[in-house]
């Protein structure tokens, strides 16, 4: 088994042998000839260089950990232009629901795909000396600490009463024909008894939330956005495109027989089928002019730890491999915004009491041959001892506000259930100030 520290030493040796002639973008890549013994997420957590990005595919056949920014881009078009001039580059990061992106070309990338692992150093030849100093400053891997923080308080925005009012306004707009569907979100601010390590929460989610994309962007040691999302925005392999409509939700159950009954109810329920088909129709319309031979698969149920979703997969052949165009057409989908898309976004901006930020945007990567993004759902923003947790529900004619509130709880539980329940006052006081209870 190979250790990360040994591979980094080999990278520095290769860097020292780099010819000083010429300038421009270069890569030094080493295959991992044996199984990598270190956890790349734990290694990432030990580093003091930012930004950092972690990614694990929902089929678990792909995992990446990257750090340091050689170049940063505020939109996909700029990132794509860099890749066109440097075809070996891969750019990682987030796009916002409404706002600039945070995409970057990392200095260092650990990538595992189909049991093949490599480490790649990105650099510009003229900065080789600074790159060597940067490599030398990287820290050795250390085990991740256990998840210990306690939730002291929870504040929902909107609260239950505000949610009921907001949904009634949405249902009125739908009944008046101004909207077919709108996806409304709730933000839950969890105040913690101590700062929360984003990699520790990511590791805990990775362990239990299967069939999900796991992603984390750390802006600094104290600030990060992360999530475990079941939904693919799109995968582009060459010019082949794969996307999906993930809309329609029911609770999961630990008992397989009861879970199957719930899944069958979801397949048969007209309201959820209608919601899913709205998303399918929107995706197909938005891809018109960019793809040929679109194919929509029959509905299936995706079973997750806390909920089950209705899903239809959609495939097509792109006329050109243009990721900026794909993102512009597909994001945000009707599954996170609504229909008509612009009218739904105007309603969201006018009625939701918080800004979504990265929530309901997307996370992933762009490269010349392949790109993939997941929708940034089941996600949270961590800032020191504050965790902002997001969840949304699709509102259509016939939606019941109380049931939709419960759906928010079910979706938020993907991350919320990783933390212990709120401490009672005595326990909280003892944790914060042990002498107070003596």
> Which of 94, 120, 146, 132 has the alpha carbon at shortest distance from 40?
120
Length of the chain as a residue count: 438
Find the largest Cα–Cα distance for the chain: 72
Choose between 397 and 421: higher pLDDT. 397
- Residue 135 scores a pLDDT above 80: yes
- Residue 118 scores a pLDDT above 90: yes
pTM above 0.75, yes or no: yes
User: Which positions ≥6 away from 286 have C-beta within 8 Å?
Assistant: 329, 330
Whether 135 contacts 8, CB under 8 Å? yes
DSSP label at residue 238: T
Domains of the chain: 4-136 (no CATH), 151-246+273-291+320-416 (3.60.120.10)
**Predicted confidence band of residue 391 (pLDDT cuts 50, 70, 90):** very high
DSSP H/E element including 381? strand 379-383
Cis omega (within 30 of 0) on the bond before 7? no
The pLDDT value recorded for residue 423 is 52
Torsion of CA 117, 123, 125, 129, to 10 degrees: -100
**Predicted confidence band of residue 36 (pLDDT cuts 50, 70, 90):** confident
Whether 417 contacts 205, CB under 8 Å? no
Only one residue has tokens 């495939």, namely 315
The pLDDT value recorded for residue 425 is 35
User: Which positions ≥6 away from 352 have C-beta within 8 Å?
Assistant: 158, 166, 184, 185
> Mean pLDDT across the stretch 21-45?
89
Whether 320 contacts 273, CB under 8 Å? no
> Mean pLDDT across the stretch 366-379?
98
List Cα–Cα distances, 105 to 109, 122, 168, 391, in angstroms. 9, 8, 45, 30
DSSP H/E element including 183? strand 181-192
Which range (20-24, 249-253, 417-421) has the least confidence?
A: 20-24
Which range (106-110, 232-236, 431-435) has the least confidence?
A: 431-435
Joined together, the tokens standing for residue 266 give: 């979801």
**Predicted confidence band of residue 148 (pLDDT cuts 50, 70, 90):** confident
High-pLDDT (> 90) share of the chain, %? 88
The pLDDT value recorded for residue 430 is 54
The pLDDT value recorded for residue 429 is 42
Phi, psi of 369 (to 5 degrees): -90, -20
Q: Is 244 annotated as a binding residue?
A: no
CA distance 45 to 139: 10
DSSP characters over 116-136: EEEEEEEEEGGGHHHHHHHHH
Burial class (CB in 10 A: 0-12, 13-18, 19+), 169: middle
**Predicted confidence band of residue 428 (pLDDT cuts 50, 70, 90):** very low
Which range (26-40, 132-146, 161-175) has the least confidence?
A: 26-40
> Mean pLDDT across the stretch 124-153?
93
> Mean pLDDT across the stretch 363-375?
98
Cis omega (within 30 of 0) on the bond before 352? no
162-208 pLDDT, tens digit per residue, is 999 999 999 999 999 999 999 999 999 999 999 999 999 999 999 99
Choose between 149 and 81: higher pLDDT. 81
> Mean pLDDT across the stretch 321-338?
95
Joined together, the tokens standing for residue 215 give: 């992603």
> Mean pLDDT across the stretch 295-323?
96
- Residue 115 scores a pLDDT above 90: no
Q: Is 155 annotated as a binding residue?
A: no
- Residue 436 scores a pLDDT above 90: no
Joined together, the tokens standing for residue 233 give: 């925005």
Which range (138-142, 234-238, 313-317, 431-435) has the least confidence?
A: 431-435
Only one residue has tokens 């239990």, namely 208
- Residue 150 scores a pLDDT above 70: yes
Whether 195 contacts 421, CB under 8 Å? no
- Residue 149 scores a pLDDT above 70: yes
- Residue 7 scores a pLDDT above 60: yes
- Residue 235 scores a pLDDT above 90: yes
Helices assigned H by DSSP within 25-113: 40-46, 76-85
Q: Which residues are catalytic?
A: 181, 231
């Amino acid at each position: 088994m190979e250790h990360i520290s040994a591979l980094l030493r080999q990278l520095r040796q290769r860097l020292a042998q780099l010819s000083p002639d010429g300038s421009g973008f270069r890569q030094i890549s080493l295959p991992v000839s044996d199984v990598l013994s270190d956890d790349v997420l734990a290694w990432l957590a030990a580093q003091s260089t930012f930004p950092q990005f972690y990614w694990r595919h929902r089929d678990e056949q792909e995992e990446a950990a990257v750090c340091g920014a050689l170049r940063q881009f505020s939109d996909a078009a700029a990132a794509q232009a860099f890749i066109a001039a440097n075809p070996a580059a891969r750019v990682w990061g987030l796009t916002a629901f409404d706002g600039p992106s945070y995409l970057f070309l990392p200095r260092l990338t650990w990538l595992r795909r189909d049991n093949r692992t490599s480490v790649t150093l990105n650099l510009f030849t003229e900065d080789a000396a600074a790159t060597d100093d940067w490599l030398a400053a990287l820290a050795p891997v250390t085990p991740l600490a256990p998840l210990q923080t306690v939730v002291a308080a929870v504040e929902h925005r909107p609260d239950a009463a505000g949610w009921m009012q907001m949904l009634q306004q949405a249902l009125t707009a739908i009944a008046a024909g101004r909207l077919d569907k709108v996806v409304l979100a709730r933000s839950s601010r969890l105040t913690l008894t101590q700062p929360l390590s984003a990699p520790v929460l990511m590791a805990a989610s990775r362990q239990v939330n299967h069939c999900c994309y796991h992603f984390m962007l750390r802006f600094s040691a104290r600030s990060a956005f992360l999530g475990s999302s079941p939904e693919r925005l799109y995968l582009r392999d060459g010019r082949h495109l794969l996307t999906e409509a993930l809309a329609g939700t029911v609770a999961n159950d630990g008992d397989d027989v009861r879970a199957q009954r719930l899944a069958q109810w979801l397949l048969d329920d007209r309201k959820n089928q209608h919601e899913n088909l709205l998303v399918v129709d929107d995706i197909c319309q938005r891809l018109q002019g960019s793809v040929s031979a679109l194919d929509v698969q029959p509905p299936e149920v995706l079973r997750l730890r806390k909920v089950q979703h209705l899903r239809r997969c959609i495939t097509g052949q792109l006329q050109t491999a243009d990721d900026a165009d794909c993102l512009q057409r597909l994001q945000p989908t009707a599954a996170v915004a609504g229909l008509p898309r612009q009218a739904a976004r105007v309603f969201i901006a006018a009625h939701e009491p918080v800004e979504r930020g990265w929530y309901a945007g997307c996370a992933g990567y762009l490269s010349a041959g392949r790109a993939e993004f997941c929708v940034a759902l089941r996600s949270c923003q961590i800032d020191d001892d504050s965790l902002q947790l997001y969840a949304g529900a699709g509102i259509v004619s016939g939606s019941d506000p109380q049931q939709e509130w419960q759906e928010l709880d079910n979706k938020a539980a993907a991350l919320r259930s990783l933390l212990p329940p709120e401490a009672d006052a005595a326990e909280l006081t003892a944790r914060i100030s042990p002498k107070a209870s003596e």
